[in-house]
Amino acid sequence: MTRYLLLIFCFFTFSVAGQSQSNIDVLHYKFTIELNDDNDTIYGRADITVKFLESSNRLEFNLVQPDKKGKAMSIVNIIGPNAKNALADPGLRLCQIDLSKKTAVNDTATYTIIYKGIPEDGLIISKNKYGKRTFFADNWPDRGHNWIPCKEDPADKASVEFIVTAPQHYQVISNGIQIEETNLVDNKKRTHWREDVPISTKVMVIGVADFAVNLSGTINDCIPVYSWVYPEDRDKGFYDYAQAAEILPWFIKNVGPYAYKKLANVQSKTRFGGLENANTIFYSEHSVNGNRQSESLMVHEIAHQWFGNYATEKSFAHLWLSEGFATSMTILYMENKYGKDTAIAMLKEDRDQVIDFGKRNALPVVNNTKDFMTLLNANSYQKGGWVLHMLRRELGDSIFWKSIQLYYSTYGGSVADTDDLRKVFEKVSGKDLKQFFQQWLFTAANPNLKINWNYNASSKKLNITTEQLQKGEAFQFPLEFGIYTEKGKPSLQKIAISKKSETFTLTLVTKPESIVADPNISLLFEATVSEIK
Report the CATH number that the domain containing residue 354 is assigned in CATH. 1.10.390.10
47 and 58 part of one domain = yes
122 and 157 part of one domain = yes
In this structure, is residue 6 part of a structural domain?
Answer: no
239 and 276 part of one domain = yes
In this structure, is residue 500 part of a structural domain?
Answer: yes
503 and 397 part of one domain = no
In this structure, is residue 459 part of a structural domain?
Answer: yes
| Run of H or E including 404 | helix 397-411
DSSP 45-108: EEEEEEEESS--SEEEEB-PPP-TT--SEEEEEEESTTEEEEEE-TTSS-EEEEESS---TT-E
Q: CATH number, domain at 285?
A: 3.30.2010.30
182 and 33 part of one domain = yes
CA distance 158 to 178: 18
Domains held by the chain: number: 4
36 and 126 part of one domain = yes
pLDDT (tens place) for every residue of the chain, 533 residues total: 775 433 323 323 333 333 445 799 999 999 999 999 999 999 999 999 999 999 999 999 999 866 656 788 888 899 999 998 766 665 557 788 999 999 999 999 999 999 999 999 999 999 999 999 999 999 999 999 999 999 999 999 999 999 999 999 999 999 999 999 999 999 999 999 999 999 999 999 999 999 999 999 999 999 999 999 999 999 999 999 999 999 999 999 999 999 999 999 999 999 999 999 999 999 999 999 999 999 999 999 999 999 999 999 999 999 999 999 999 999 999 999 999 999 999 999 999 999 999 999 999 999 999 999 999 999 999 999 999 999 999 999 999 999 999 999 999 999 999 999 999 999 999 999 999 999 999 999 999 999 999 999 999 999 999 999 999 999 999 999 999 987 767 899 999 999 999 999 999 999 999 999 999 999 999 999 999 98
Task: Supply the pLDDT for residue 65.
Answer: 67
Beta bridge partners of 114: 45, 77
Q: Which of 176, 208, 240 is the last residue of a domain?
A: 208
400 and 491 part of one domain = no
Nearest CA-CA partner of 292 in 243, 356, 342: 243
Within a 10 A sphere around the Cβ of 369, how many other Cβ atoms?
A: 11
In this structure, is residue 4 part of a structural domain?
Answer: no
In this structure, is residue 70 part of a structural domain?
Answer: yes
426 and 499 part of one domain = no
CA of 490: how far to CAs of 241, 512, 526, in Å? 44, 9, 21
Q: Dihedral (C-alpha) 110, 114, 120, 122: value to the nearest 10 degrees? A: 30
119 and 238 part of one domain = no
457 and 423 part of one domain = no
316 and 280 part of one domain = no
Q: Which of 441, 468, 501 is the last residue of a domain?
A: 441
Task: Supply the pLDDT for residue 21.
Answer: 54
Q: CATH number, domain at 73?
A: 2.60.40.1730
Task: Supply the pLDDT for residue 68.
Answer: 58
Q: Which of 257, 275, 305 is the last residue of a domain?
A: 305
71 and 125 part of one domain = yes
In this structure, is residue 12 part of a structural domain?
Answer: no
| Distance between start and end Cα atoms, the chain | 50
Q: CATH number, domain at 456?
A: 2.60.40.1840
Task: Supply the pLDDT for residue 13.
Answer: 31
In this structure, is residue 5 part of a structural domain?
Answer: no
Please say whether the beta carbons of 453 and 531 come within 8 A.
yes
- 417 is in which domain, residue-wise? 311-441
pTM beyond 0.85: yes
In this structure, is residue 355 part of a structural domain?
Answer: yes
